C-alpha cells in the first residue's frame, strides 16, 4: 500500500500466502493459524528507531488527541502504560524488562507489574468507543527489547490486530544525532569512542536488518511497515500518514493541522565538546550511585548549562565534529548491508554516505579551542548552572 501524505513512502514486504486472510472469515495469527475476526481494535506499535523525530511525534499526538480521535485514532494517555513526563509509552516497555533495567533512569518506568500495566492499557483501548486504531509509541521498543520481550508483547496483545511501524534514517546522520543525545544525557565519550560502541558485534543500534528481522519473525513480515526519515520533511506528517492509513477507511492525504513541537535538534559541535568536558568533570567527582531525585536535578542543571552555552554562540554557523576515517568506513560497511536489505525486501532506498560529514583536523582543533574558550567565559547563567552541577555531584 502506498499512501500520499506529504511525500511519505510507506513500504511493506511482499505478503506471503501464510499471511493472507480469508475474506470475511478470519485473520492470520502470527504463527500462521486462524483466529476469529473479533479483535476489538487494531494496535499500531511505533517502535522507533531512536533519533528519527519520535519525540516530536509523541508530543504532537499528546497535544492533538481530539484531532486524532476525529480520524479514528487513539493515543492512550490514561493507563499505567503512559508516562506523563515523556509523553510516550515507555512504562509499557519498562514493565517487560523490569528485572534488567535497574538504574536505567532514562526509561520512564512504573511501580506496577507488567500484568497491571498491560491490563490498564487494554481497558483504555477497548473502552474507546468509535475508535478504529490505537497507537502505542516508544522508541525503547527497538533499543531495549530482545526477542523474548517481543514474544511476550505479542502474547499479551494477541487478541488485537497488531502492526509495527519503524522509521529508518541514514546511518551516519543518525549516529551523530545519537552522539549529541549521549552527551546531553551526561556521558563523557568522544565521538570516536561512541562509534566504537556502536560497532560492537552485540550492539544492534545501527544494525537495521537485525532489528527489523526480530520484529517480523514474531509479528509477520507483512505486519512490519517502514518509513524513510527524510531530513528536510516533517516527520509528523510522514508518520501520521502511515498510521492513519491503518485506521478503517482512512487515507492520510494532506497535512494534519495540529500544533507541532520540534525537539532534540542537534547542537553546535563546540557547545557539545564543552558539555562533554563538564560531564567528564562531574563523573570524576561522583562517588556511589545516584538516586532518581538527584539524577533528575542533575539532568535539569545539565540542560540549563547547555542552553546557556548555546546562547553564547547564537548566530554562529554550526560546526561538526570529525570522526576517525576507519570508524566511518566500518559504519559504512554495516550501512551497506542494511541498505541492500531495505531495498531488496521493501524497495526502500536510504541516503548514501555524505563526505561532507567527514570533518578535518583543523576543524577538530578549532572545536577544542572553542570549547576551552566557552568554558572559561560561559556567561553568568552558565556559571550558575555549572556551579549547581558541581554542588549536586560533590557527595
Q: What is the CATH number of the domain that holds 233?
A: 3.40.50
Q: Are residues 160 and 275 in the same domain?
A: no
**Domain shared by 145 and 287, yes or no:** no
In this prediction, residue 268 carries a pLDDT of: 87
Quick one: pLDDT at residue 102?
46
What is the model's pLDDT at position 392? 87
What string of DSSP letters covers 78-132?
SSTT-BTTTTB-HHHHHHHSGGG-TT-TTS---SS-HHHHHHHHHHHHHT-TT--
Average confidence score pLDDT of the chain: 82
CA nearest 149: which of 201, 112, 114, 103? 114
pLDDT value for 5:
29
Residue 213 has pLDDT above 80, yes or no: yes
285 shares a domain with 214: no
User: Domain check: are 316 and 210 in the same one?
Assistant: no
**The pLDDT of residue 183 is above 80:** yes
Q: How far is CA 227 from CA 177, 219, 353, 360, in A?
A: 18, 17, 19, 33
Tell me which of 307 and 362 has the higher pLDDT: 307
257 located within any domain: no
User: In degrees rounded to 5, what are phi and psi of residue 118?
Assistant: -65, -45
pLDDT at 231: 84
How many domains are there within the chain? Answer: 2
Same domain, 105 and 233: yes
Element spanning 44, H or E = strand 42-46
Same domain, 230 and 314: no
What phi, psi does 198 have (nearest 5°)? -60, -30
Report the candidate in 292, 344, 234 with the shortest Cα–Cα distance to residue 102: 292
Radius of gyration of the chain (CA): 22
pLDDT for 260 = 54
DSSP SS3 for 192: helix
Same-domain status, 59 and 126: yes
Tell whether 108 and 158 lie within a shared domain: yes
**Mean pLDDT across 198-207:** 94
Task: Tell me: pLDDT of 30 over 50.
Answer: no
| Structural domain ending residue among the three candidates 228, 244, 260 | 244
- Residues 363-391: pLDDT tens digits? 788 888 999 999 999 999 999 999 999 88
Instruction: Look at residue 165 in the predicted model and tell me its pLDDT.
Output: 96
pLDDT of residue 106: 62
- 123: domain range? 10-16+39-170+203-244
Q: Kindly state the helix (H) or strand (E) to which residue 190 belongs, with its residue range.
A: none
- pLDDT at 63 (0 to 100): 92
Banded pLDDT at 9 (limits 50, 70, 90): very low
> Which helix (H) or strand (E) covers residue 133, if one does?
strand 133-137
Calpha distance 263→266 (Å, rounded) = 9
184 phi and psi, to 5 degrees? -60, -30
Tens-place pLDDT, residues 287-297:
555 677 888 89
Whether the Cβ atoms of residue 332 and residue 311 lie closer than 8 Å to each other: no
**Comparing 13 with 166, which gets the higher pLDDT?**
166
Q: Is the per-residue pLDDT at 44 higher than 70?
A: yes
| Residue where the block lists cell 524497495 | 347
The answer as to whether 370 is a domain residue is yes
On the question of pLDDT at 37 being above 50, the answer is no
4 part of a folded domain: no
pLDDT at 4 over 50: no
| 351, part of any domain | no
Is the pLDDT at 179 greater than 60, yes or no? Answer: yes
- Asked if 121 and 234 sit in the same domain, the reply is yes
Whether residues 286 and 163 fall in one domain:
no
pLDDT above 90 as % of the chain: 55
> Looking at residue 329, what is its pLDDT?
94
pLDDT digits (tens, 9 = 90+) for 164-176: 999 999 999 999 9
pLDDT in tens, 241-253: 888 877 654 444 4
What is the structure's pLDDT at 7?
32
Place of cell 480520524: 71
Report residue 395's pLDDT band, with 50, 70 and 90 as the boundaries.
low
Residues 284 and 229 grouped into a single domain: no
First to last CA, the chain: 57
In terms of domains, do 235 and 278 share one?
no
% of the chain surpassing 70 pLDDT: 78
Residue 1 forms part of a structural domain? no
In a domain, 180, yes or no: no
The last residue of a domain, from among 178, 211, 244: 244
Q: Which of 82-96, 189-203, 225-239 has the lowest mean pLDDT?
A: 225-239
For position 36, what pLDDT does the model report?
A: 34
pTM of the model: 0.83
| Residue 181 neighbours by CB under 8 Å, 6+ apart | 50, 51, 264
Supply the pLDDT for residue 240: 84
Inform me whether the pLDDT recorded for 206 exceeds 80: yes
Closest CA to 45 of 314, 321, 239, 288: 239
Mean pLDDT of the region 132-142 = 94
The Cα–Cα gap between 144 and 152 comes to: 14
Residue 256 lies in a domain: no
Amino acid at each position: 500500500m502506498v499512501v500520499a501524505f506529504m511525500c511519505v513512502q510507506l513500504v511493506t514486504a511482499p505478503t506471503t500466502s501464510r499471511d493472507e486472510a480469508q475474506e470475511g472469515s478470519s485473520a492470520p495469527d502470527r504463527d500462521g493459524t486462524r483466529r476469529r475476526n473479533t479483535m476489538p481494535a487494531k494496535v499500531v506499535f511505533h517502535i522507533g528507531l531512536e533519533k528519527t523525530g519520535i519525540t516530536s511525534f509523541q508530543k504532537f499526538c499528546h497535544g492533538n488527541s481530539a484531532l486524532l480521535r476525529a480520524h479514528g485514532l487513539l493515543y492512550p494517555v490514561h493507563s499505567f502504560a503512559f508516562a506523563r513526563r515523556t509523553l510516550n509509552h515507555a512504562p509499557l516497555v519498562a514493565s517487560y524488562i523490569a528485572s534488567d533495567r535497574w538504574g536505567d533512569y532514562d526509561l520512564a518506568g512504573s511501580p506496577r507489574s507488567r500484568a497491571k500495566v498491560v491490563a490498564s492499557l487494554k481497558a483504555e483501548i477497548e473502552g474507546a468507543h468509535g475508535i478504529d486504531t490505537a497507537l502505542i509509541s516508544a522508541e525503547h521498543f527497538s533499543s531495549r527489547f530482545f526477542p523474548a520481550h517481543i514474544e511476550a508483547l505479542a502474547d499479551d496483545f494477541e487478541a488485537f490486530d497488531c502492526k509495527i511501524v519503524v522509521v529508518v534514517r541514514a546511518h551516519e546522520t543518525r549516529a551523530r544525532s545519537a552522539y549529541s543525545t549521549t552527551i546531553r544525557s551526561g556521558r563523557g565519550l568522544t565521538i570516536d569512542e561512541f562509534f566504537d560502541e556502536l560497532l560492537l558485534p552485540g550492539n544492534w543500534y545501527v544494525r537495521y536488518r537485525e532489528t527489523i528481522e526480530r520484529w517480523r519473525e514474531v509479528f509477520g513480515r507483512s505486519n512490519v511497515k517502514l518509513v524513510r526519515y527524510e531530513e528536510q520533511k516533517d516527520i509528523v506528517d510522514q508518520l501520521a500518514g502511515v498510521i492513519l492509513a491503518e485506521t478503517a477507511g482512512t487515507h492520510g492525504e494532506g497535512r494534519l493541522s495540529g500544533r507541532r513541537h520540534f525537539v532534540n535538534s542537534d547542537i553546535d559541535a563546540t557547545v557539545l565538546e564543552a558539555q562533554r568536558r563538564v560531564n567528564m568533570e562531574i563523573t570524576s567527582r561522583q562517588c556511589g550511585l545516584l538516586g532518581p531525585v538527584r539524577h533528575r536535578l542533575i539532568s535539569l542543571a545539565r540542560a540549563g548549562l547547555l542552553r546557556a552555552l548555546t546562547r553564547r554562540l547564537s548566530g554562529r554557523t554550526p560546526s561538526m565534529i570529525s570522526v576517525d576515517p576507519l570508524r566511518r568506513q566500518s559504519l559504512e560497511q554495516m550501512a551497506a548491508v542494511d541498505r541492500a536489505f531495505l531495498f531488496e525486501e521493501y524497495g526502500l532506498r536510504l541516503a548514501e554516505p555524505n563526505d561532507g560529514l567527514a570533518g578535518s583536523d583543523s576543524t577538530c582543533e578549532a572545536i577544542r579551542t572553542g570549547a576551552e574558550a566557552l568554558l572559561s567565559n560561559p556567561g553568568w547563567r552558565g556559571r550558575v548552572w555549572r556551579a549547581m552541577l558541581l554542588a549536586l555531584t560533590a557527595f
